[in-house]
Amino acid sequence: MRVITSALETIGGITILSGRVARMMLRGGINLRLLLEQMVLLGVNSIPIAVIVLSFAGAVFTFVLAEELASRGAGSLVGGLQLLVFLQEMIPVFSGIVMAGKIGAAITSEIGTMKISEQLDALRALSTDPDWYLTVPRVLAGIIMMPVVAVFAGYGSWFAGYAMAHNQIGLRYSQFASAVDSLVSMHDFRMCFVKCMIFGATIVLVSCHSGYVAQGGAAGVGKAVTNGVVLNIVLIFLLDLLVTMVMG
């Protein structure tokens, strides 16, 4: 019973926070300086780790698939298949998980620490809405920068996949890319970007909410960070399923 109440409280809290943030964004209450700062922190600084993770994923994917397809005379499909699967699933989901671990944890611990050290009250005392100062720029930066991170991560996985295919079955670049036109459409790119934007917003909202409800000192902040990251990962897979079914 307590678990259900707590889950409902969390869902309700995140929904209310989303509503407030959306209202502020529609009213145009965005500080450009804060937004740019967050775009660098959330996006630019996450590109290297996302590229590394997706490059390994691309290499592993090709390693498993290349010889199998080559033995059936379909080696030239490797690149196209990899891009298709990565656009629809791997890039948004893996980038989302990387962002949840790196950015989500950082946001929750920062806001949680601000809460327990009365900095959120200090913001309010200075006539500043914490949502305006902290949440709105982070959410917007998440929505804008997650697709940017995904582009870099996508390139990483593509070239790592090619390097593996070249090494394993001797494919030239033109052969590796030959099936892209027939297997991949603009719809796959759209789906990738839509998922990235939804995941970007979700990760930041969940992380901010986890920070706002943190209580009880350093241990409380640690617990809030864990809860935020776990909830983000579950939500990434749930939303991935929903978006795939809707856009499929």
Partner 1 sequence: MISFEGVQLSFGSHQVLRDVSFSVTSGQMTAVLGPSGSGKSTILRLIMGLIRPQQGRVIVDGEDVTKMSERRLQRSRRKMGMVFQHNALFDGLNVAENVGFYPTYVEKRPWKQVLPEVEELLEDLGLADSAQKLPGELSGGMRRRVALARSLIYRPKILLYDEPTTGLDPYMTEVVAELIAEMNEKYAVTGVMVSHDLPTVYDIADHVVLIAEGQATVVGHPSELLRSEKPEVIGFASSWRRHIIEYSGEMSKEE
Which chain residues interact with partner 1 by CB under 8 A? 31, 110, 113-114, 117-119, 121-122, 124-129, 133
Structure tokens at 245: 């079914």
21 versus 150: smaller Cβ distance to partner 1 = 21
Structure tokens at 79: 């690149």
**To the nearest whole angstrom, how small is the minimum distance from the Cβ of residue 123 to partner 1?**
8
Determine contact, residues 244/191, Cβ cutoff 8 Å: yes
Angle at the Cα of 116 from the Cα atoms of 112 and 121, rounded to 5 degrees? 100
Nearest approach, Cβ of residue 220 and partner 1 (Å):
16
Residues 6 or more apart in contact with residue 153 via CB below 8 angstroms = 47, 50, 51, 53, 54, 91, 94, 95, 98
Q: Work out how close the CB of 108 gets to partner 1 at its nearest, in angstroms, rounded to a whole number.
A: 15
* Closer residue to partner 1, CB minimum distance, 68 or 121: 121
d(CA 194, CA 91): 12
Closest by alpha carbon to 206, among 29, 73, 10, 20?
A: 10
For the bound state, the minimum distance from the C-beta of residue 133 to partner 1, rounded and expressed in Å, comes to: 7
Q: Which is nearer to partner 1, 15 or 128 (CB)?
A: 128
Choose between 33 and 72: whose C-beta lies nearer to partner 1. Answer: 33
| CB 156, min distance to partner 1, A | 30
Which residue number, 124 or 187, has a Cβ lying nearer to partner 1?
124
Residue of 224, 241, 1 lying closest to 110 (CA atoms): 224
CB of 127 to partner 1, least distance (A): 5
Q: Which among 217, 9, 50, 21 has a CA at the least distance from the CA of 138?
A: 21
Q: Which is nearer to partner 1, 122 or 247 (CB)?
A: 122
